[in-house]
């Protein structure tokens, strides 16, 4: 029986898991992503979070058969460049090598993949995507990312596919965090929604309890949990902004479906997981008026692996990587 490590490196948190051959989670840990320092500091925190998960699994990190990492940014052979939302990570950093050193696991396979794509792979192999050959995984969180499985295989294009968050749903529309206008993420990303809420509240005097809730819960951002709570309390501004986000996701995802005719859409990410089934249903309804083949809409479901999906997906990289090495030798 072998065990594998998986690390999901997010802009807000680092999630780690230890899994066995059958993908059962033996242990897990979560730490906040450092907001200051640089890539080396982030790598140390990732190593610490993996140790913690191994401890929970009652295993030594050195006993693992390999470690997989899901990371933002551009990834090439264990090196990560221009990782958005991570501190001081504009350049290229040898993440796999840094983890190898920090964990003292020289020679162990450490594989780095795209965070959104590994989470999509995990849903495809182990989660809500299992019944389908073709799916779009949409991760609704700080930003809006997506991964594609076409005919049972990940589709990454020239390495940059899956930017559903930057599909245009309004020419000259709202300013996006990417600097462009009218992208899905400009309406539906948690970061853009927070900026919009702050403007409407502070500059235009719209009433809301969002920022009070944030302070009461000792948060520095409007987390998915804060949004969920405000919606439950029927906060008018929060409801308005979330409705707008659902409309944007509906139009963007429907456009993707019109182009690719996928069987299924899996909704994950911080907000997707937190808001759950009722919102997957709402997104499905918001897609409906824009679907060209509206007599056979794709199934829309919440990511079954929840918050652990990214880390479990990262651990899957080891199997694939080991298999690839074996086949090549």
Residues that bind a copy of itself (CB under 8 A): 134, 146, 148, 150, 155-164, 166-171, 178, 180-183, 247-248, 251-252, 254-256, 258-263, 289-290, 292-293, 296
Residue 194: CB minimum distance to a copy of itself, A: 21
Nearer to a copy of itself, 191 or 210 (CB): 191
What minimum distance in Å lies between the beta carbon of 327 and a copy of itself? 19
Nearer to a copy of itself, 52 or 299 (CB): 299
Q: Which residues, other chains included, contact 135 with Cβ-Cβ below 8 Å and sequence gap of 6+?
A: 120, 123, 124, 129, 148, 149, 262, 263, 264, 265, 266
**Minimum gap (Å) between residue 134 Cβ and a copy of itself:** 7
Q: How far is the CB of 165 from a copy of itself (least distance, A)?
A: 8
CA dist 249 and 230 (Å) reads 20
The CA dihedral of 103, 269, 33, 311, to the nearest 10 degrees, is -10
Residue 7 or residue 148: which is nearer to a copy of itself going by CB?
A: 148
Other Cβ atoms closer than 10 A to 239: 14
Q: Which is nearer to a copy of itself, 47 or 291 (CB)?
A: 291
Nearer Cβ to a copy of itself (93/132): 132
CA–CA distance, 233 with 79 (Å, rounded to integer)? 44
CB of 21 to a copy of itself, least distance (A): 31
Angstrom CA distances, 258 to 161, 190, 254, 306, stand at: 16, 25, 6, 27
């Amino acid at each position: 029986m072998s065990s594998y490590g998986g690390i999901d490196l997010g802009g807000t948190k680092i999630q780690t898991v230890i899994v066995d051959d059958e993908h059962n989670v033996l242990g897990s840990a979560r730490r906040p992503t450092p907001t200051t320092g640089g890539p080396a500091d982030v790598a140390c925190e990732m190593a610490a979070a993996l140790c913690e998960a191994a401890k929970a699994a009652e295993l030594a990190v050195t006993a693992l058969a390999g470690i997989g990492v899901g990371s933002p940014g551009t990834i090439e052979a264990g090196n990560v460049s221009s990782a958005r939302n991570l501190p001081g990570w504009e350049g290229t950093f040898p993440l796999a090598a840094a983890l190898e050193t920090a964990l003292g696991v020289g020679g162990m396979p450490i594989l780095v993949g795209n965070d959104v794509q590994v989470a999509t792979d995990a849903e495809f192999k182990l989660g809500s995507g299992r019944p389908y050959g073709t799916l779009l995984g949409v991760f609704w969180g700080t930003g809006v990312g997506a991964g594609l499985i076409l005919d049972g295989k990940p589709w990454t294009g020239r390495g940059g596919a899956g930017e559903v968050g930057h599909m245009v749903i309004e020419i000259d529309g709202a300013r996006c965090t990417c600097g462009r206008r009218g992208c899905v993420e400009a309406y539906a990303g948690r970061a853009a929604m927070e900026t919009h809420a702050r403007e409407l509240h502070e500059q235009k005097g719209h009433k809301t309890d969002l920022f009070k809730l944030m302070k009461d819960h000792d948060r520095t951002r409007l987390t998915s949990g804060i949004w969920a709570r405000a919606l439950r309390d029927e906060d008018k501004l929060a409801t308005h902004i979330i409705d707008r986000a659902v409309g944007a996701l509906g139009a963007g995802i429907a456009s993707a479906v019109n182009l690719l005719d996928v069987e299924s859409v899996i909704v994950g990410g911080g907000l997707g997981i937190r808001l759950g089934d009722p919102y997957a249903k709402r997104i499905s309804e918001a897609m409906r008026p824009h679907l060209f083949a509206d007599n056979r809409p794709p199934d829309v479901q919440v990511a079954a692996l929840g918050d652990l999906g990214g880390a479990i997906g990262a651990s899957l990289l080891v199997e694939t990587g080991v298999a690839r090495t074996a086949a090549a030798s």
